[in-house]
Amino acid sequence: MRLSRALWWIVLVIAAVFYLVPMLAMARFAFQRIPVIKLAPDNIFSKWTIEPLLNTFADPDFRQAALLSVLLAVATAVATAVLLVPTMVAAHLHSPRARKLIEVSAVLPFVVPAIALVVGFAGAFRNTVPFFIRNPVGLVPLYMITALPFTHRTLENGLATLDLRTLVNASRSLGAGWVRTMVLVIAPNIRASIATASFLAFTVVLGEFTIASLLLKNTLPLYLAYAQGQNPQGSFALGLVLVVLSTVFVALSNRFARSVTT
Amino acid sequence: MVAGPSKRRARHLAFVPYGAFLAVFLGWPGFYVFRSAFAASGAERSPMIEAVTGQFRGSFVYSLQLSFISSLIGLLIGSAVAIALVRLQHVRGLRNVVVGYSSVAANMGGIPLAFAFLAAFGMQGLATRLLREVNIDLIGWGFRISDFWGIVLVYLYFQIPLMTLVLVPALDGLRRTWHEAAQSLGASSRQYWQMVAFPILLPAILGGFLLLVANAFAAYATAFALSSGGSRLVPVQIRFFLQGDTITGKTNLGYALAAWMVIITTALVIGFQLLARRAERWRR
């Protein structure tokens, strides 16, 4: 019995090593000013500096890209909440079949790979509404769709715990209109779900490369890819920061998600 | 609450924004891809046929090979991790840590991941260097992070946790009481696993496999950042076609490639959904 337990521990340890090594390597490359060839046991802890990261932060291109990405992420999160919450509340109040229909529709984005979506979008909108292609705001609907499976599931989990019909009936019978009911009654009750969905939307937008790349919009992941030439250490450092940030976001959203279902 | 016709119409109104949104930003692009893919551009053959014959057949084969192999290995290792979690479930907090990290790693991809692997296993990589210290010369053996097996290695980073995340709930569904019941009927542990547990887990395992394949097949950013090896993959080829700086008059071919991608991914996702529904049966 003890042997088999040890075996499973070995599996986990090997997996852990596989997961940590690339991250450590990325950190080492980013923050240590010694080329790999010259690495030796005696200088392994020397010449560590966060200067490459600071150089990146000082780069005006970085600031522009970061600003764009943050704005897009916020817009995606807000637009998703505004579009999905009323729709899903309506579905819950309507019938289980409506709920199912919305659920199936939220899985559709998995079926269309990002590359197919963006070439179709570019082709379709180029000759009709080129505004969406020229202006970065066109990225928002595409990002909403990319994040849809995750945001929908999160909001669904939150709404499922509420006694929606009672809340709505009570609110309406006290004279509140639909908008007031949504904003003042329902939304506060699914606060955690909305927060989780927003974190997920953030993570998606900060990591999304395909769509922005093909539409030639200068978002943060694009900056990451193209700054590699000029400032390799800095861009690797930035990559590491993004990974840490995504980890924090996912951890926070998991924490929120757990508080929803308890 | 009896709803008259006008009330019913008002209720349906609530779904219009969402429906319109999906139609305009998901339906229309999809429709455009397929319409362009089937449009005869005066060339001899329909772009859809040409996309899967000749030089592009190699791309699809390459993409699918990459997806299948990374998914197969991901399935084996991911299952091992999931089983390890079950066998070691008495360790407090272990499961939360592993599942938590898996959900981060499963969504990781794109540029930072490619960077990390370049830093670790590239020509000037840290791991490459460390392995050379113990006489394992990866570069000398012809291993390149930008070649097929290099990309498989990188894809494993998110394939393994995805499989783990799919399998852990399925393993939860296997109740201890079943194992005890089987034993009280005289079955050995091995017989239990072979004849009871495995058939129950099979839909989840197969479904997870299909999900992994779809995931790998659609991946673009990671392959793009690893450049040379990635250029033979279908998503990257679509980009070359439609970024405009190559052969003109053949853009329909790019759309055909995209259309085939959608067809393949749809088949995989439908397969996954059907299997997931079967796997769900055991969780009630």
Within this chain, do residues A37 and A159 fall inside the same structural domain, yes or no? no
The answer to whether B207 and B276 have CB atoms below 8 angstroms apart is yes
Cα of B273 vs its chain's centroid, Å? 14
Cα of B216 vs its chain's centroid, Å? 4
Asked, for residue B10, whether it belongs to a domain, the answer is no
The answer to whether B233 and B87 have CB atoms below 8 angstroms apart is no
Query: How far, in Å, CA of B280 to CA of B277, rounded?
Result: 5
Q: What are the φ/ψ torsions at residue B95 (nearest 5 degrees)?
A: -60, -45
The answer to whether A158 and A164 have CB atoms below 8 angstroms apart is no
Q: Which of A14, A33, A49 is the last residue of a domain?
A: A49
The upper half-sphere exposure of residue B159, i.e. CA atoms within 13 Å in the direction of its Cβ, equals: 30
pLDDT, tens digit, for every residue of A223-260? 888 887 778 888 888 888 888 888 888 777 777 666 65
Min distance A89 CA to chain B CA atoms (Å): 9
The per-residue pLDDT string of chain B (284 residues; one tens digit each, 9 = 90 and over) reads 455 566 666 667 888 899 999 999 999 999 988 888 887 665 556 777 777 777 778 888 888 999 999 999 999 999 999 888 888 877 777 887 888 788 778 777 678 888 888 888 888 788 888 887 787 777 777 777 778 888 899 999 989 998 988 888 888 877 777 888 888 888 887 788 788 888 888 888 888 899 899 888 888 888 777 765 557 788 877 877 776 544 555 667 788 888 888 999 999 888 888 888 877 776 65
Question: Does A108 sit within 8 Å of B26, measured CB to CB?
Answer: yes
Asked, for residue B278, whether it belongs to a domain, the answer is yes
What does the block give as tokens for A202? Answer: 């953030």
Residue B113 contacts A, CB cutoff 8 Å: yes
Within this chain, do residues A210 and A236 fall inside the same structural domain, yes or no? yes
Per-residue model confidence (pLDDT) at position B246: 47
Contact residues, A window 69-98, toward B, CB-based 8 Å cutoff: 83-84, 86-87, 90-91, 93-94, 98
**Residues of chain A positioned with their CB less than 8 A from the CB of B121:** 22, 25
Min distance A119 CA to chain B CA atoms (Å): 7
Asked, for residue B132, whether it belongs to a domain, the answer is no
Min distance A221 CA to chain B CA atoms (Å): 7
Contact residues, A window 205-224, toward B, CB-based 8 Å cutoff: 207-210, 213-214, 221, 224
Query: How far, in Å, CA of A209 to CA of A221, rounded?
Result: 6
For the ranges A30-39, A175-184, B9-18, the maximum mean pLDDT occurs at A175-184
Asked, for residue B63, whether it belongs to a domain, the answer is yes
Predicted-complex ipTM score:
0.83
Per-residue model confidence (pLDDT) at position B5: 60
The CA–CA distances, whole Å, from B216 to A133, A163, B106, B156 equal 27, 40, 11, 9
Question: Does A36 sit within 8 Å of B124, measured CB to CB?
Answer: yes
Contact residues, B window 38-57, toward A, CB-based 8 Å cutoff: none
Residue A71 has pLDDT above 90, yes or no: yes
Within this chain, do residues A98 and A211 fall inside the same structural domain, yes or no? yes
Q: For an interface test with A, which of B60, B73, B77, B126 has the most A Cβ atoms less than 10 Å from its Cβ?
A: B126
**Residues of chain A positioned with their CB less than 8 A from the CB of B127:** 21, 25
CATH value at residue A250: 1.10.3720.10
Within this chain, do residues A212 and A82 fall inside the same structural domain, yes or no? yes
Average pLDDT over residues A61-77: 91
Asked, for residue B120, whether it belongs to a domain, the answer is no
Within this chain, do residues A11 and A84 fall inside the same structural domain, yes or no? no
What does the block give as tokens for A41? Answer: 């046991």
Within this chain, do residues A41 and A56 fall inside the same structural domain, yes or no? no
Asked, for residue B73, whether it belongs to a domain, the answer is yes
**Residues of chain B positioned with their CB less than 8 A from the CB of A35:** 124
Contact residues, B window 205-264, toward A, CB-based 8 Å cutoff: 214, 217-218, 220-221, 224-225, 235, 238-239, 242-243, 254-255, 258-259, 261-262
Question: Does A87 sit within 8 Å of B14, measured CB to CB?
Answer: yes
Where does residue B249 rank: exposed (0-12), middle (13-18), buried (19+ CB within 10 A)? Answer: exposed
Residue A76 has pLDDT above 90, yes or no: yes
What letter represents residue B142's amino acid?
G
Residue A138 has pLDDT above 60, yes or no: yes
Report the number of distinct structural domains present in chain A.
Answer: 2
Residue A24 contacts B, CB cutoff 8 Å: yes
Within this chain, do residues A28 and A68 fall inside the same structural domain, yes or no? no
Which is nearest to A219 in space by CA: A141, A137, A159?
Answer: A137
Query: How far, in Å, CA of B221 to CA of B272, rounded?
Result: 24
Helix (H, G, I), strand (E, B) or coil at B91: coil
Cβ neighbours of residue B169 under 8 Å, at least 6 residues apart? Answer: B204, B283
Within this chain, do residues A226 and A110 fall inside the same structural domain, yes or no? yes
Q: Give the nearest partner residue to B29 out of A8, A120, A210, using CB atoms.
A: A120
CATH value at residue B68: 1.10.3720.10
Question: Does A107 sit within 8 Å of B112, measured CB to CB?
Answer: no
Q: How many other CB atoms sit within 10 Å of the CB of residue B92?
A: 7
What does the block give as tokens for A118? Answer: 């963006």
Query: How far, in Å, CA of B14 to CA of A88, rounded?
Result: 9
Question: Does A144 sit within 8 Å of B25, measured CB to CB?
Answer: yes
Q: Residue A1 belongs to what domain range?
A: 1-49
Cβ neighbours of residue B149 under 8 Å, at least 6 residues apart? Answer: B143
DSSP secondary structure, B110-178, as one string: HHHHHHHHHHHHSTT-HHHHHHHHTT--TTTTT--TTSHHHHHHHHHHHHHHHHHHHHHHHHHHS-HHH
Asked, for residue B134, whether it belongs to a domain, the answer is no
Query: What's the CA angle centered on B129, arms B126 and B135, to 5 degrees?
Result: 145
Within this chain, do residues A5 and A135 fall inside the same structural domain, yes or no? no
The CA–CA distances, whole Å, from A7 to A12, A136, B85, B87 equal 9, 52, 12, 10
Query: How far, in Å, CA of A236 to CA of A231, rounded?
Result: 9
Query: How far, in Å, CA of A59 to CA of A38, rounded?
Result: 29
Per-residue model confidence (pLDDT) at position B41: 61
Within this chain, do residues A156 and A198 fall inside the same structural domain, yes or no? yes
Residue A262 has pLDDT above 50, yes or no: no
Report the number of distinct structural domains present in chain B.
Answer: 1
Asked, for residue B239, whether it belongs to a domain, the answer is yes
**Residues of chain A positioned with their CB less than 8 A from the CB of B155:** none
Q: Residue B33 belongs to what domain range?
A: 16-110+155-283
